[in-house]
A and B are shown apart, each in its own frame.
Chain A
């Protein structure tokens, strides 16, 4: 285990220190300081192009897969900078799971979708039990217990997304990242996923990017508002930054920043 000297408070699971992320020469987001609390649901909101998805993807090194993406600063997880050269990104992703914008089940059976991640992570226990408990936690068990052998694609969009959540739970991560998990879903499926998230909160830390402010209000304990402005030293393009980070109640009832107030009241975005 690689330890750094930095001390973070005990209830902080993930800590961003002066993080800037660029795609090639284009800087997407600059100087983010942010602490994510254990057992909380934190939502990242903000207008398009403010870098909230970029920040989310950086938290489990998914940005490594995008060519030319580079990160400055440190992200501390469990006392370790996950961007340390000695860190194995595969190990990071095993402990910080991710649910994507589009439901992306594997072209395998429902059972195999869940067993796949567990198996490659060296799971040796009772696979049937794991599949059932993961599906139960994702509130999908009752709908698909009779067709575990069917393809993951046979499910509806909302069910597929919950299957993806179940798949992530099955590897027992400490944090679950969700990148606009409901943007491709209808309101009823969205509601189900939100219920699932409330259930998951007991055992996991969740960080979610959402365009839907009502959703942030409904599900999250903490909210981070990202905005994008033109910097004087920049080449005219907008650069994202963390404008305000506070409890969800405070962000929506008495925001400190004027831009936050304007964004949540729908003046821009």
Chain B
């Protein structure tokens, strides 16, 4: 008879210990890049943060003067992301509503779902090249070439699948009883969607939209082909049709410069970019947690 006490030397217990520690080590290695990355950027960039950073134009590289600030790039990122949201949110939410509420699971809706998944996997640089070919090189937007508008369009392609998917899934979580309740009191399909199902799914859709924005705000490749870069303040509406700076492209440009001042500016921009994307992500988690809570009522 074997003893009931735990025996360290038993081969199955040794194997168990080994695999437990192996998986713990792998988990630690997986989280290390994130920790190092965030702390390194906080350390390198955090020390560069000054009030002038937010108000000045970047100086062109080449002299030993101060590198200036990131004001145009910061505003540019805001504008380009806003343009992307203005395009992607209505189209994405509308498409998601079609998939979840109107489609009956036929060939067309299956094709759209498949298409959305493919679009979600398209490399971001392809979205940039596509808009370059469609908008920039044809000068179709009132004769302008590289522009903030084109940049926004490229980013909207990247946002679209996230928005469609989360709308679709958020609406599917709304219990059918609620739809029946509304239709049962004589509401039409569109009243039901507008007044009952969409408000119920609002927070999960909002979470998806926020995540989509966070992804788009950090993209570089599509902007190199579309918005390019600008050193100058954004002063008016007309600037939408010209080259526009963004944090991501500023980092790309200035990190490769041989001058120390520009490199430091790139670090500062990285700091701002990481911090804002991180806070947007945390904001979406709070939204999601809030959704969970209200569902249980």
Interface residues of chain A, those whose CB is within 8 Å of chain B, are: 60, 62, 65, 67, 90-91, 93-95, 97-100, 102, 104-107, 116-117, 120-121, 151, 153, 164, 167-168, 170-171
Taking CB atoms, residues of chain B closer than 8 Å to A164 are 181
Closest to B188 in A: A90
Q: A107-B200, A151-B297 are in contact. Are A116 and B186 (CB under 8 A)?
A: no
Taking CB atoms, residues of chain A closer than 8 Å to B134 are none
Number of interface residues of B (CB under 8 A): 23
Q: Tell me whether B183 and A93 are in contact (CB under 8 A).
A: yes
In the bound assembly, the distance between CA atoms of A1 and B174 in angstroms comes to 35
Q: Nearest 6 pairs between A and B by C-beta?
A: A94-B186, A117-B185, A104-B177, A98-B184, A104-B181, A93-B186
SS class of chain B's interface: helix, strand, loop or mixed? helix
Q: Tell me whether B185 and A167 are in contact (CB under 8 A).
A: yes
Q: A90-B188, A151-B297 are in contact. Are A116 and B180 (CB under 8 A)?
A: no
Q: Tell me whether A62 and B183 are in contact (CB under 8 A).
A: yes
Interface residues of chain B, those whose CB is within 8 Å of chain A, are: 104-105, 175-188, 191, 195-196, 199-200, 294, 297
Q: Tell me whether A117 and B180 are in contact (CB under 8 A).
A: no
Question: With A120-B186, A120-B191, A121-B185 given, can you name 17 additional A-B contacts, CB distance below 8 Å?
Answer: A62-B180, A65-B176, A65-B179, A67-B105, A90-B183, A90-B187, A93-B184, A93-B185, A93-B186, A95-B186, A100-B184, A104-B177, A104-B178, A107-B294, A117-B186, A120-B195, A167-B185
In the bound assembly, the distance between CA atoms of A117 and B183 in angstroms comes to 9
Q: Tell me whether A121 and B186 are in contact (CB under 8 A).
A: yes
Q: Tell me whether A97 and B200 are in contact (CB under 8 A).
A: no
Q: Tell me whether A100 and B177 are in contact (CB under 8 A).
A: yes
Q: Tell me whether B186 and A90 are in contact (CB under 8 A).
A: yes
Q: Tell me whether A106 and B297 are in contact (CB under 8 A).
A: no
Q: Tell me whether B181 and A171 are in contact (CB under 8 A).
A: no
Taking CB atoms, residues of chain A closer than 8 Å to B177 are 100, 102, 104
A110 CB, nearest partner CB in chain B, Å: 14
Taking CB atoms, residues of chain B closer than 8 Å to A116 are 182, 185, 187, 195
Q: Tell me whether A106 and B178 are in contact (CB under 8 A).
A: yes
Max chain A C-beta neighbours (<10 A), residue from B105, B187, B200: B187
Taking CB atoms, residues of chain A closer than 8 Å to B187 are 90, 116-117, 120
In the bound assembly, the distance between CA atoms of A67 and B186 in angstroms comes to 20
Taking CB atoms, residues of chain B closer than 8 Å to A65 are 176, 179-180, 183
In the bound assembly, the distance between CA atoms of A100 and B185 in angstroms comes to 11
Q: Tell me whether A106 and B196 are in contact (CB under 8 A).
A: yes
B110 CB, nearest partner CB in chain A, Å: 14
Taking CB atoms, residues of chain A closer than 8 Å to B199 are 107
28 A/B residue pairs, CB under 8 Å, sorted by A: A62-B183, A62-B184, A65-B183, A91-B186, A93-B184, A98-B180, A100-B177, A100-B180, A102-B177, A104-B175, A104-B177, A106-B182, A107-B178, A107-B199, A107-B200, A120-B185, A120-B187, A120-B188, A120-B191, A120-B195, A121-B185, A153-B297, A164-B181, A167-B181, A168-B185, A170-B185, A171-B185, A171-B186
Closest to A64 in B: B183
Taking CB atoms, residues of chain B closer than 8 Å to A104 are 175, 177-178, 180-181
Q: Tell me whether B184 and A97 are in contact (CB under 8 A).
A: yes
In the bound assembly, the distance between CA atoms of A98 and B181 in angstroms comes to 8
B138 CB, nearest partner CB in chain A, Å: 44
B196 CB, nearest partner CB in chain A, Å: 6
Taking CB atoms, residues of chain B closer than 8 Å to A153 are 297
In the bound assembly, the distance between CA atoms of A104 and B179 in angstroms comes to 9
Max chain A C-beta neighbours (<10 A), residue from B176, B185, B191, B297: B185
Taking CB atoms, residues of chain B closer than 8 Å to A102 are 177
B24 CB, nearest partner CB in chain A, Å: 43
In the bound assembly, the distance between CA atoms of A97 and B191 in angstroms comes to 17
Taking CB atoms, residues of chain B closer than 8 Å to A151 are 297
B263 CB, nearest partner CB in chain A, Å: 53
